[in-house]
A and B are shown apart, each in its own frame.
Chain A
Amino acid sequence: MKFLKSVRVAPKAIGAVALAGVMVLSSAYTAGAQSASNYGPTGPVPATGTKIQGGTAYFQEGPAAPPTYIFPFISPQVCSTMNYGQFTYLMYRPLYWFGNNNSPTVDYNYSVANPPVWSNGDKTVTVTLKNWKWSNGEPVSSRDVEFWMNMEFADSATNWCDYTPGYFPDNVASMSYPNASTVVFHLKAASNPTWFLYNELSQVTPMPIAWDRTSSSGPTPTPSTPNLPDTTKAGVTKVYDYLNTQATNVASYATSPLWSVVDGPWKLQSFTSTGEVTFVPNPDYGGSPKPTLSKFVEVPFTSDEAILNEIKSGGPKALSMAELPDEYLPQLKSVESEGYNAVNFTDYSISYFPLNLGNPTFGPVFSQLYFRQAFQHLVDAPGWLQKIQGGYAVPTYGPVPQEPSSSFVSNFERNNPYPFSISDAAKILKAHGWTDVGPGKVATCEKPGAGANECGAGTTKGLQLKFNLGYQSGSVVTAEQMEDLKSQASQVGIDLELTTAPFAQIIDKAINCGPDGAAKPSSAKCSWTALDWGAGWVYAPDYLPTGEALFYTGAGADFSGYSNAEADKLIKATTNGAASETIPNMKAYENYIAKQVPVVFFPTATGNPTSAAIDLISKHLGGFINNAFTNLTPETWYLTK
């Protein structure tokens, strides 16, 4: 389970944490682990037998993570991959689809719209819609996009999960709808076309006019109904309130005349209070391929243990697609023998933890590039990946995920700018005014000041490198990583005081001390020095790994309080630079951040859609493709016999 446009939720962080965590993986099984270089095929996972029409496929939901919200204008408190990619997207398709075939890129074949056309110096975007229909027979038209955009302009700042001040829809000056199949976005400033497509247009979902109402009474509106309420700001807010209220009645999801109007490949047949969701094909689906299955069922689970038990007792008949939580990797062979292909799929995310650059005592030290570089040298990334995570992780040395592979990742980042080296870390500290740099000692600042060989501006003489690192409880992987880091750090005189707290407490601390939080990182309330919630960031549904949400000065998720003019400039270039410069700008930003290490990067656990798990695909399930952004496409699936 992951929250979207948010911190990536740590393995076992949500749901039954403690009960599962006590059993999680150790280095004992690493000898049998599969190669870390294998992150699954770019096409469908091969199936055995001959394809059959119809049948029911069962998909395992993440532990304690059923879908909870159906209205695609998703509000922040229910903003999660389950609600987007595993639920609403199956029924209500966004303008553009991303991530199929294990690739973090756009997929026009699955999109409602044709590729956008740019003009006016990249200030105007024209989008034409394909000939899709809603299940009530009405065409998917520009009016449906207008309905969405009206709601964006009126309600996004308070009610939309993906809203960031200054970005979509604030960066749109106006809209025009020349005909039923054409939508034109007039932007306030030139934008990079790739960025605007991946991070802004990606979030637009046409909504049927049948939803354009403020109450359940009266006839169902149609595009020809006069004075539809969405055309005024007050009216569309009332429409939002009505639809949001309807969306809180989960018992009515499968029977509501509202939610039964779909343009995606699936319609909802049932939705139980425990989170079991059954879809049937939408016969009016305008895209391709059409579903082969006659039913697609998402099965809820309460815990990792319950998942394992069901896999081992029911096998592929009970779960066509499941995920074996990492703590049970030693049982992988026996699980495969039940009739599964095990694949080490991953999603498009990175793992890191922040140091509080605003901490009154240690902020001046953490703000020094040399210190962050030295600290990154202490992360035994290959050791963690192989010995603690058993090979089921992706190397992470910067802001762009290395897997699923893309043209955005640079060789500089791939090659780990700061490889594990105690001696290099010690050398760096010694060269910057620290004494007692060695095992059994606590490094002490001997030369405070801003000079090249001094501890840094704001540091004080006698300051000792002894600080707290709080990490999420309930995950043995995280605990082992932190114990290892403490051990390595002690070799250079850094005394890490490790403490644990539940995931929610760790993340609450980080969130509330971010630039946009309840307190500034430098405030007295924010006394934390380092916090590790066991994961990092998932790029969805902002699919391009640019840094405006993470490392731009004042960004909402810049928990460490990092601020750097050069980084800001490079981030701006990725969001507003010329189309021809997309890749160079991307790599310039990426290399700079990898060099700057504003956060401490560490290997990212594989697993998709649930992190820290191995995908299990029934040998009799064909057409399964990995979506880099955790979006499901069961319309490609089929059963074999």
Chain B
Amino acid sequence: MTGYIIRRIGQAIIVILGVTMIAFLLEHLIPGGIARAILGPRATPLSIAVWNKRNGYDSPIWYQYWIFLDHLVHGNLGFSYKLNRSVDSIIANDLPRDVLLVGTSLVLAVIIAVPVGVMQAVKRNRALDYAGTATSFVLYSMPSYALGLILIALFAITIKALPAEAPQGTTIGSMLAHPSGLVLPVATLTLVTFALFSRYMRSSAIESLAQDYIRTARAKGLPERKVLQRHLLRNSLIPVATLVGLSLPAVLTAGLVLEYLFNFQGLGLEYFNAATTDDFPVMLGITVLIGFATVLGNLLADIAYAVLDPRVRY
């Protein structure tokens, strides 16, 4: 396992290097150069030259990339010219808040989806299963944007029981101090994610139920609860583990709709805004982070396989 992890980390570094290289080259494709895009129509050749020199854009592109990598390994992701803040500080500010919001949704979705999926599989083609399927289909087919709007209209505007916006605190502590603000955004993302996870869990559990080891366990007289817990659940979780692993980058980006709708400044929106304002350092920094999260998510999913299925060896 250790060797596998080391190999995967090596692959991850190559993947992240590739991602940064592509993003870095794209940055330099803008017509007229970055300085002109940043400084605006009044920029003079002199001010452009000074800005390029000050920010290292007057060097050959390979050298700029080398400097970028050097900064990257030293934890320096650059500086946002538009937001007047270091990219590190933007990520440091937004990431914990995104993790709280999207991460909580993800965990809640798993906690709800797993038993619901198992229950649907066990009660397959009965009323409870049909109800669960219908609920999942409705939630899955509904864009999170629309669901969020409905929840806001109902609970924040009509009933006025909950705030329409997420907590505005800049730290986890200050956000948790206003838990009511978390309810609607977390519920929105949880419901949508739950629908997906529960469908996977149901299918996986149905497949497991038909396996010999379940029949054997039942034949041995094991109580049904233990059959489900010890034999069904563990094996059925494998595809869900893949899904959760792949969802890790979504912690960084899937929050876009929530951030947009619930007035919550997070990395998804920072990324989107950076793309619409030519704020390349922010785009590059978050791209690197997403690349890292993708690789990490896959690695964790692979490790989860081995934990869930002892037959898997790396």
Q: Which residues of A are at the interface with B, using a C-beta cutoff of 8 A? A: 3, 5-7, 13-17, 19, 64, 68-69, 76-79, 157-159, 161-165, 247-248, 250-251, 272-276, 300-303, 305-306, 309-310, 312-314, 502-504, 508-512, 514, 516-519, 525, 549, 556-557, 559
Give chain A nearest CB distance to B95 CB in angstroms.
12
> How many contacts between A and B, using CB within 8 angstroms?
170
Contacts A19-B260, A313-B163 given; does A77 touch B39 at CB 8 Å: yes
In the A-B complex, the 6 residue pairs with the closest CB atoms:
A512-B32, A518-B32, A306-B263, A309-B164, A313-B164, A158-B50
Interchain CB contact under 8 A, A248 and B85: yes
Interchain CB contact under 8 A, A76 and B260: no
Interchain CB contact under 8 A, B152 and A309: yes
Q: Which of B46, B165, B273 contacts A157 (CB 8 A)?
A: B46
For A19, give the chain B residue with the smallest CB separation: B260
The answer to the question of B41 belonging to the interface, with a C-beta cut-off of 8 Å to chain A, is yes
Chain B positions 152 through 168: 1 when the CB is less than 8 Å from some CB of chain A, otherwise 0: 10001100100111001
Contacts A273-B89, A302-B265 given; does A508 touch B278 at CB 8 Å: yes
For A83, give the chain B residue with the smallest CB separation: B84
Q: Which of B44, B82, B264, B265 contacts A516 (CB 8 A)?
A: B44
Interchain CB contact under 8 A, B36 and A14: no
Contacts A15-B273, A19-B145, A503-B276 given; does A6 touch B160 at CB 8 Å: no
Interchain CB contact under 8 A, B41 and A303: no
Interchain CB contact under 8 A, A309 and B263: yes
Interchain CB contact under 8 A, A247 and B273: no
Tell me which residues across on chain A come within 8 A of B41, comparing CB atoms: 6-7, 510-511, 514, 516-517, 556-557, 559
B41, B93, B165 pick with most chain A CB within 10 angstroms = B41
The answer to the question of B83 belonging to the interface, with a C-beta cut-off of 8 Å to chain A, is yes
Interchain CB contact under 8 A, B160 and A508: no
Interchain CB contact under 8 A, B261 and A5: no
Interchain CB contact under 8 A, A519 and B261: no
Interchain CB contact under 8 A, B157 and A303: no
Q: Which of B42, B50, B93, B276 contacts A556 (CB 8 A)?
A: B42
Distance A555 CA – B118 CA, assembled complex (angstroms)? 70
Interchain CB contact under 8 A, A518 and B164: no
Distance A503 CA – B39 CA, assembled complex (angstroms)? 16
Q: Which of B79, B145, B156, B273 contacts A313 (CB 8 A)?
A: B156
A162, A300, A518 pick with most chain B CB within 10 angstroms = A518
Tell me which residues across on chain B come within 8 A of A504, comparing CB atoms: 37, 275-278
Contacts A15-B273, A302-B263, A306-B262 given; does A508 touch B37 at CB 8 Å: yes
Give chain B nearest CB distance to A61 CB in angstroms.
11
Contacts A302-B269, A502-B276 given; does A248 touch B44 at CB 8 Å: no
For B278, give the chain A residue with the smallest CB separation: A504
Interchain CB contact under 8 A, B42 and A64: no
Q: Which of B40, B93, B168, B276 contacts A6 (CB 8 A)?
A: B40
Distance A514 CA – B33 CA, assembled complex (angstroms)? 14
Interchain CB contact under 8 A, B261 and A68: no
Interchain CB contact under 8 A, A16 and B260: yes
Q: Assuming A77-B39, A306-B263, what are 16 further A-B pairs, CB within 8 angstroms? A: A15-B276, A68-B85, A76-B40, A77-B82, A78-B84, A248-B84, A302-B263, A306-B165, A313-B164, A504-B278, A516-B41, A516-B43, A516-B44, A517-B41, A519-B31, A556-B41
Distance A78 CA – B85 CA, assembled complex (angstroms)? 11
For A156, give the chain B residue with the smallest CB separation: B47
Interchain CB contact under 8 A, A16 and B272: yes
Show 23 A/B contacts (Cβ-Cβ < 8 Å), sorted by A.
A3-B40, A6-B41, A7-B40, A15-B276, A16-B273, A19-B260, A77-B38, A78-B81, A157-B47, A162-B42, A274-B265, A302-B264, A309-B164, A310-B165, A313-B156, A502-B275, A511-B36, A516-B41, A517-B41, A518-B32, A518-B33, A549-B42, A556-B43
Tell me which residues across on chain B come within 8 A of A14, comparing CB atoms: 273, 276-277
Q: Which residues of B are at the interface with A, using a C-beta cutoff of 8 A? A: 30-33, 36-47, 50-51, 79, 81-86, 89, 93, 145, 149, 152, 156-157, 160, 163-165, 168, 170, 257, 259-265, 269, 272-273, 275-278
Distance A512 CA – B33 CA, assembled complex (angstroms)? 9
A78, A272, A309, A509 pick with most chain B CB within 10 angstroms = A309
Tell me which residues across on chain B come within 8 A of A510, comparing CB atoms: 41
For A309, give the chain B residue with the smallest CB separation: B164
Tell me which residues across on chain B come within 8 A of A525, comparing CB atoms: 31
Interchain CB contact under 8 A, A303 and B261: yes
Distance A504 CA – B51 CA, assembled complex (angstroms)? 20
Interchain CB contact under 8 A, A309 and B31: no
For B257, give the chain A residue with the smallest CB separation: A19
Distance A314 CA – B165 CA, assembled complex (angstroms)? 10
Give chain A nearest CB distance to B151 CB in angstroms.
11
Interchain CB contact under 8 A, A314 and B37: no
Give chain A nearest CB distance to B118 CB in angstroms.
36
Distance A518 CA – B264 CA, assembled complex (angstroms)? 38
Distance A236 CA – B82 CA, assembled complex (angstroms)? 25
Interchain CB contact under 8 A, B82 and A68: yes
For A157, give the chain B residue with the smallest CB separation: B46
Distance A502 CA – B272 CA, assembled complex (angstroms)? 12
Tell me which residues across on chain A come within 8 A of B272, comparing CB atoms: 16
Interchain CB contact under 8 A, B84 and A302: no
Distance A13 CA – B261 CA, assembled complex (angstroms)? 17
Interchain CB contact under 8 A, B164 and A68: no
Contacts A274-B168, A276-B168, A302-B260 given; does A557 touch B84 at CB 8 Å: no
Interchain CB contact under 8 A, B261 and A309: yes
Q: Which of A69, A162, A301, A517 contacts B36 (CB 8 A)?
A: A517
Give chain A nearest CB distance to B264 CB in angstroms.
7
Give chain A nearest CB distance to B21 CB in angstroms.
22
A274, A303, A556 pick with most chain B CB within 10 angstroms = A274
B30, B168, B260, B275 pick with most chain A CB within 10 angstroms = B260
Distance A276 CA – B278 CA, assembled complex (angstroms)? 24
Tell me which residues across on chain A come within 8 A of B42, comparing CB atoms: 5-6, 76, 161-164, 549, 556-557
Interchain CB contact under 8 A, A508 and B261: no
Distance A395 CA – B117 CA, assembled complex (angstroms)? 60
